Amino acid sequence: MIRLDGSDRDLERAAELLDRGELVAVPTETVYGLAGDAADPRAVLRIFTAKGRPPDHPLIVHLPGIEALDDWAAAVPEVARRLARAFWPGPLTLILPKAGHVSDVITGYQRTVGLRVPGHPVTLRLLAIFGRAVAAPSANRFGRISPTTADHVISEFEGRDSVAAVVDGGPCEVGVESTIVDCSGERPRILRPGMITAGQIGQVLGERPASAGQDEGPRASGRLPAHYAPETRVELVDATALAAPDPDAAVLALGVTPDPGGFMAWQSLPEEPAAYARGLYAALRALDTVGARRILVQRPPGTPAWSAIRDRLDRATA
């Protein structure tokens, strides 16, 4: 795997690789994605093979701009256009009826497709050079911790020839995957929470969207009960549980640094949810390497601003 940067020369090289059907890991504002030409079924199949991803688990198509929305969706209701205008480029995925040309491999053999315009300047420039959309799930082995740096991607696929290159765009600004909103039915509903909250969506639409249950709505990325998990077992605990020494445990605490004397390792993340999300996956990756028997994560607050973080941690502990 070669490492490229955000220069036009390297992005042109990345576009050439995509045009040949190769896979290129790209930075987005959420996490790094494993990109392949969305119009090339062979490239899309390579994504599933590289990740070890189940074939019925659909991919998200990353568009070069909002103007491409009608190229990939058979019907776009006004609520979807309002959300796209409000939040694209950005960490919001819309589920819509798929256009006729969209490969069933991308959609997990469903009639809907997930679409978004990523909010990272490097990948937006790459998409402009490439001139087409890419399918791009997170650039990691299926079910594991999503990568938020180029080094994370390299560590995931080191020694394999399935990924041709990674474009290094620095650490991801958001740090957790996009909010997914299903706009294919009568009423918008959130399939996966993200850092764009239900409240923000409600302000745009004039009504708060529903939240789909685990088995409701179309299948979408990141909705399996167990996901985003390190190799080490993760447990959510209350702050009081961190007072008792456990020499076999690593700790991820909220806002304060626990006494490290009784723990194998510890990390602290900010009490502000956006900053916490930005550092979450990197912290879990670091704690996963220390040889602990388990990782104790302090339970985050139950407020709406923390819903995406709670979702990821709940799946990491499943």
The DSSP line for 100-137 is TTS-HHHHTS-SEEEEE----HHHHHHHHHH-S-EE--
Q: What's the rounded mean pLDDT across residues 209-234? A: 74
Which pLDDT does position 245 carry in this prediction?
76
Listing DSSP states for 27-53 in one string gives --SSS-EEEEETT-HHHHHHHHHHHT-
Which pLDDT does position 58 carry in this prediction?
94
The length of the chain in residues reads: 318
Q: Are 147 and 183 in the same domain?
A: yes
Using 50, 70 and 90 to split pLDDT, how confident is the model at 215? low
* pLDDT, tens only, 224-257: 666 778 999 999 999 888 887 788 999 999 987 7
66 Cβ contact partners less than 8 Å away, ≥ 6 residues apart? 84, 85, 88, 117
Which pLDDT does position 189 carry in this prediction?
93
* Phi, psi angles (nearest 5°) of residue 275: -70, -35
* pLDDT, tens only, 63-76: 999 999 999 999 99
Q: Are 199 and 263 in the same domain?
A: no
Q: What's the rounded mean pLDDT across residues 31-51? A: 96
Into how many domains does the chain fold? 2
Q: Is residue 227 part of a domain?
A: no
Using 50, 70 and 90 to split pLDDT, how confident is the model at 118? very high
Q: Cα separation of 104 and 119, whole Å?
A: 26
Q: What percent of the chain has pLDDT over 70?
A: 96
Q: Is the model's pLDDT at 258 over the cut of 90?
A: no
Which pLDDT does position 263 carry in this prediction?
87
Q: What's the rounded mean pLDDT across residues 4-30? A: 97
Q: Are 263 and 237 in contact (CB under 8 A)?
A: no
Which pLDDT does position 224 carry in this prediction?
65
* pLDDT, tens only, 139-149: 998 888 999 99
Q: What's the rounded mean pLDDT across residues 265-271? A: 93
Which pLDDT does position 246 carry in this prediction?
85
Q: What percent of the chain has pLDDT over 90?
A: 80
Which pLDDT does position 257 carry in this prediction?
75
Q: Is the model's pLDDT at 166 over the cut of 70?
A: yes
Q: Are 57 and 178 in the same domain?
A: yes
Q: Is residue 225 part of a domain?
A: no
Using 50, 70 and 90 to split pLDDT, how confident is the model at 214? low
Q: Which of 112-121, 167-176, 239-248, 308-317 has the lowest mean pLDDT?
A: 239-248
Q: Are 245 and 98 in the same domain?
A: no
Q: Are 205 and 245 in the same domain?
A: no
Which pLDDT does position 159 carry in this prediction?
78
Q: Are 288 and 204 in the same domain?
A: no
Q: Give the DSSP letter of residue 18.
A: H
Using 50, 70 and 90 to split pLDDT, how confident is the model at 260? low
Q: Is residue 115 part of a domain?
A: yes
Domain range for residue 26?
A: 2-211
- Assign residue 25 the CATH number of its domain: 3.90.870.10
Which pLDDT does position 164 carry in this prediction?
96
* Residue finishing a domain among 177, 211, 245: 211
Average pLDDT, the chain: 92
